[in-house]
Amino acid sequence: MELRGLNDRQMEAVKATEGVVRIIAGAGSGKTRVLTYKVAYLLEQGIPAGHILALTFTNKAAREMRNRINQLVGEELARYLWMGTFHSIFARILRQEAELLGYTHDYSIYDTTDSKSVIKHIIKDFNLDEKIYKPSVVHARISMAKNKLQSPNLYAADREYLMRDRFDKMNDMSRVYAEYNRRLKAANAMDFDDILVNTQTLLQKFPEVAEKYQERFQYILVDEYQDTNRAQYMIIKRLAEAHQHICVVGDDAQSIYSFRGADISNILNFQKDYPDAQLCKLEQNYRSTQTIVQAANSLIRHNKGQIRKDVYSELKIGERIALSTYMSDRDEAKGVASQIRLLSKRSENFSYDDIAVMYRTNAQSRVIEDELRQAGIPYRIYGGTSFYQRKEIKDALAYMRLITNRDDNEAFLRVVNYPTRGIGDTTVGRLHEAARKNKVSLMTVAIAPETMTEDLSAAAQTKVKEFAQMIEQFAVDMGKKDAYTFAQDVLTATGILREAKADTTQEGIARYENLQEMLTSIHEFCQQREQEGIDFTPIADFLAEVSLLTDQDENLDDTQARVTLLTIHAAKGLEFRHTLIVGLEENLFPSAFSQTQREIEEERRLLYVAITRSMEHCHLMNARQRFRNGQTTFTTPSRFIKEIDKQFVLNTDTMPRPMSSANSHPFREGLGVSSPTSSRLTPTTGAKEKSKKKAIRSEWAKDDCVMHRVFGKGTVLEVYRENDNEKIDILFDAVGKKTLLLTYAKLEKIE
C-alpha cells in the first residue's frame, strides 16, 4: 500500500503506531482519511486484524472506513478487524461475558421506547405524579447518570442532583433509578447506557477478563474522541493499560454534544493521563477557502479551554463572510430565499443540493420553510421532520381540527388521551365499537356514552364526557375569538403547553419552542389577512391553509435537488458549497440556556462547526426583532459576530436603519443595539395603542404608484414606524385609504 495523497503531517500521524498518540484534526483536515490509512498501515506492518480495535460513533462511519480499508489492503487481510460503534463492540463482548454479571448470553437490549415504558410503570406503581415525573425527563436523568458511571447510590449522594431534583419536586428520583435498574436486571435486559456501564464494571471487577481483552486489543484507535463520555473514557483507558498502543483522533473545537454526556475534558486532559503521548496536529483544511478558515480561527481563539492550533487552507482566498441584518425573523426568512436565488444566478454548475440553511433550534425552520415554499425553492429537512409534520404540531392541530369538525375521528383518536387524562386503549376501543354499531362519530358517543354503550364503567364515562364537554365549550368559543387568541386558549387550557414546558430535556425544550412557533405562524396568518381587508380570521381558515402545506410535504420528489435545512448539531461532519446561518442573536445563539463560561464556549464551538461546513460561501444572518412567546422581542446581535475578525466579514445593510430615537431601538453604527426590551404586539382584535409616528427610510416613497393583489392600484401617502411596527399608508383608487404593515404588504411598484 502506498501512502499517496497524504501531506507530511498526515503521513506522520499514520506512521505513529507505537505508544500513545493524540491526533488533533482541524475541520476539513482529512481526519477520516488518516484514521483509515492508519488502520491499513498497521495491517500491512503485520499486526493481525484481530488485535486491532477501531471505535466510531456511527455505523455509517464504521462501514465507510471498513470499505476503504478493504480497498487499500484487501478484504482477506482486514476480515477479522474489530471495527464498529462503541455500543456494537461492547455488546459483542458482553454477549460472551454476560454470565459474570448475572445475565444470560441472550439478554435483551431495550431501546428508548422500551426504557420509557418501564419508567412509566414504575411511576404508576410508586403512585408518583406523572406530570412531575415525566418518563422522558426521568429517562434523561438516569441516562446522564449512567454516562458518568453514577449508580443509584452515588446519584442519591450527589449534592447537585439532590438540589436539582428537590427544585423540580422529584425527590424520589434515586428510588425510581434504583427500581429501574432492578427491573431491567430481572428482565435479563440492558438499556443502551448499560452496555457501557456493564462493560466498565466487567473490566473493573474481573481482572482476568480485563487481561483477556487487553491482550486481544493490542492497538486501539478511537474516532471523534472529543465526543466520548466518562464511561467510554474509562473503558478505553482500561483496555489500553497493558500495551499502551492507543491512538485517539478528534477536534476539541468541534465538541458540541455535552447535552448527550460528552466530556470535552477527555481530550483536553489526555496529556495528563498519558504524559509521554505524541501529539500530531492536522492543520491543513482541504474543504474551505482561506477566508472562511481564518474567520473560523478568529472566532474560536476566544475559547480558553482548547488545544491551540493554526488551521490553514491553501485553496483560493475566496470572498468574505457576509453578514446581513433584517428587520424581523420573517424578513430574515425572505432574505434566505433571496440569497438562494442570487446564488442560483451567479454560481457555476449550480444545484440546490449545494446549499444548506442552518439554525440553532428546530423551531426556526418554520418561517424559513414558509418562505422557501412561497418562492418555489425545493428543500428537505435533514435529520428531522418538516415543521407541520412534527408530532407536537400535529397533536395541537388535531385539537383544533376536532373543535371545528367534531366528526373528525382521526383527530379524536389523536388527542382523546393527550395530555394523559386516564382514557386508556380499552376505553377507546369500546368507544370505537359503539360508534361503529350506532353509525356515528366517536365524538357523538363521547358526548353521551351512557346512551350509546353499556361497556364503559362509570369512571370511564365521566372522563370521556369531561373531554367531550371541553371540546364542545371550545366550539362555542371558536366563533368569538380570532385564530391566534383561540389557539392560545386551546394550547393553554388543554395543558399541551404546560406539559411541553415541564419537560426539561432537549427534546422537551424543542417541543415547547415548536408549539410557540406554531402560535407565531397563526399570529402572522391573522396579520396577513388583516392587511388583505379581512377583519376576523377564524381558526378554520388557518387549518385549511396548513392542510395544503402538509399535502405538499407528503408529495415530495426524492430525486429532485433541494436546499438542505438543518440544525447545526445535525450538520457536524457534513459540508456544502454555500451555507446560510440564521438567528445570530443573543439568547438564541448563544442559547438563553447557556450561562456559564463552559456553556458559552460550547456555543462558540457550535458556530465554529457551522462556519467550517462552508466550502466557498458563508452568510451569517440575524434579525432586529422576533415574535416569540406571544411578544415582539427586540434582539441584540450575537456576541460571536464581534469576535470574528472584521477583515473577514462583509457587513451588508439589508434593511435601512430607523431614525435615531430613544424608543425606536435603532442599530448603532457597527453591530450593537440599544438595550433590548420586550413589547407585546397589538392583537388582531382589540384597541390599538396610541403612539407617535416616526419617519423611516424605505424603498417606498410618498407619491409612489403601487399595486396590491387585493386592494388594487394606489398611491403611497406616508411610510413610518408606529408601535414598533413599520407601516405604510396608501390611498387606493377602489377602497380608499389603508394602513398596511410593510412586512406583509406585498406591493408592486408601478412605473
Q: How far apart are the first and last CA of the chain?
A: 70
Answer yes or no: 223 catalytic. Answer: yes
Of 146, 613, 624, 628, the catalytic one is 613
Query: CA-to-CA distance for 734 and 713, rounded, in angstroms?
Result: 8
List the grid coordinates of 642. 464581534
Cα–Cα separations (whole angstroms), residue 520 to 284, 290, 551, 627: 44, 40, 21, 7
Q: Give the ranges where 348-504 is alpha helix by DSSP (H).
A: 365-375, 391-404, 409-415, 425-438, 442-447, 449-452, 458-478, 483-493, 496-502
CA distance 650 to 667: 17
Q: Active site residue: 9, 10, 22, 32, which one?
A: 32
Q: Is 183 a catalytic residue?
A: no
Cβ neighbours of residue 609 under 8 Å, at least 6 residues apart?
27, 253, 254, 256, 568, 571, 572
* Whole-number Å distance between alpha carbons of 57 and 59: 7
- The Cβ of residue 386 has, within 10 Å, a number of other Cβ atoms equal to 21
> What DSSP assignment string belongs to 367-396?
HHHHHHHHHT--EEETTS--GGGSHHHHHH
Residue 188, classified by CB atoms within 10 Å of its CB into exposed (0-12), middle (13-18) or buried (19+), is middle
Phi, psi of 198 (to 5 degrees): -70, -30
613 is known as an active-site residue: yes
| Structural contact between residues 276 and 19, judged by C-beta atoms closer than 8 angstroms | yes
**Catalytic pick among 165, 193, 224, 530:** 224
Quick one: cell of 118? Answer: 418501564
Q: What is the largest CA-CA distance in the chain?
A: 92
Q: Of the residues 9, 31, 320, 406, which is catalytic?
A: 31
Cell for 74?
Answer: 484487501
Report which of 450, 429, 452 is spatially closest to residue 439, judged by C-alpha positions. Answer: 452
31 is catalytic: yes
Between CA 724 and CA 466 the distance in angstroms is 43
Q: Which of 36, 254, 364, 427 is catalytic?
A: 254
- What is the distance between the alpha carbons of residues 301 and 295, in angstroms, rounded to a whole number? 10
The verdict on whether 625 is a catalytic residue reads no
252 carries an active-site annotation: no
Catalytic: which of 165, 179, 193, 223? Answer: 223
Q: Are 80 and 189 spatial neighbours (Cβ–Cβ below 8 Å)?
A: no
Which of the residues are catalytic? 31-32, 223-224, 254, 613
